[in-house]
Amino acid sequence: MGTLHELHNAGQSVWLDFIRRDMLVEGELDTLVEDGIRGLTSNPTIFQKAIGGSDSYDEAIRAALEANAESSAMEIYEGLAVADIQDAADALRGVYDDSAAADGYVSLEVSPHLAADTAGTIADAHRLWGLVNRPNLMIKVPATPEGIPAIEELIAAGINVNATLMFSLEDYEAVAQAYVRGISRAEDPRRIASVASFFVSRVDNNTDAELDKIGTEAALELRGRAAVANAKLAYERYLEIFDGPSFADQTARGARPQRVLWASTSTKNPAYSDVLYVEPLVGPNTVNTMPPATIDAYLDHGKADGSALGSGMLAAHRDLEALADVGVDFAAITAKLQIDGVQAFADSFDDLLATVAEKMRALTLQG
């Protein structure tokens, strides 16, 4: 049986990819922190399921309506989300302090509808940063072409950033360089933190579909290998940028590297191991944000090998090269994944507001 503390000892921090009010109120998050959770991430889909799938928020929605019957669904949602994020940040504040601001972060996303709006993203990030008012907040910004300059500006302004929706090595390069530029402009980089959220399981889902269409023996042998190979190459580039001489001047100023965070780590294909996107990706100075089911799977039968991520780099290169050999356009797959990811989060955000609006109507009718 593995433990989250073993992963931390191997160099990897586990963040929980989930939030719901009852886990905050009833102390479940406090227990998870004791068990080794070192951060938390949220997104519109998580909030939609939390608010729509329970009555944990009904009392707060009713109170907000009593205070202002003209409140919009957006205003109600934001009040709920900010309160949850603040409570989660407070629960993780001890981790933040004990780790000298390396861990203990809670992520909140700018509106997904701003993914193609640099100025709007920057303004929304500053607004949310002020609303939550916690030093261990991270603002999630998508790694779209318009999000990249926003990431640089926010880092330069001293705002912690979780750069998200990265699927390709090109996405990673753009985000890492934006961080380097931003941190070099920051007046005091010592308390600024950032992670580069590199998505994993979705890469296999879409690549496997293309391999199945091709159907040759060589193609089918590559199923379930692209995502881990892609992640390993991103980590290889991380080492080149942040462990090499190019970042030394910023390290001397007290800046910390922008850690790679593995996102979308639940296994979607039941034919694959339920810890496929955990065990091979354990390595120094990384983060894995896991949903509860993946944490449970790891705790049941996972193993922490701190050398796993750095090993097999040649094989990872070969696996991605082999995709082209069998006729897979991997660059097109990863580009479409980001476009689809932005749209999926925008749709989830709209569904979230619709869920809140329905709750508001139901509670108003109840009186």
Give strand ranges (E) for the chain: 12-17, 37-41, 105-109, 137-142, 161-166, 194-199, 259-263, 286-290
The Cα diameter of the chain in Å comes to 65
- Alpha carbon distance 182, 174 (integer Å): 12
For residue 147, the cross-strand partners are none
Active-site entry in 49, 140, 268, 303: 140
Q: Which two tokens stand for residue 50?
A: 């939390």
140 counts as catalytic: yes
Q: How far is CA 193 from CA 203, 279, 344, in A?
A: 26, 25, 27
For residue 140, the cross-strand partners are 109, 162
Q: Find all residues with CB under 8 Å of 278, minimum gap 6, and list them.
A: 265, 288, 290, 294, 297, 298, 302
Q: DSSP string covering 226-249, please?
A: HHHHHHHHHHHHHHHHHSSGGGHH
Characterize the bridge pairing of strands 286-290 and 161-166. Answer: unpaired
For residue 197, the cross-strand partners are 261
- 45 membership: H or E segment, kind and range: helix 44-52
Mind telling me the catalytic residues?
A: 140
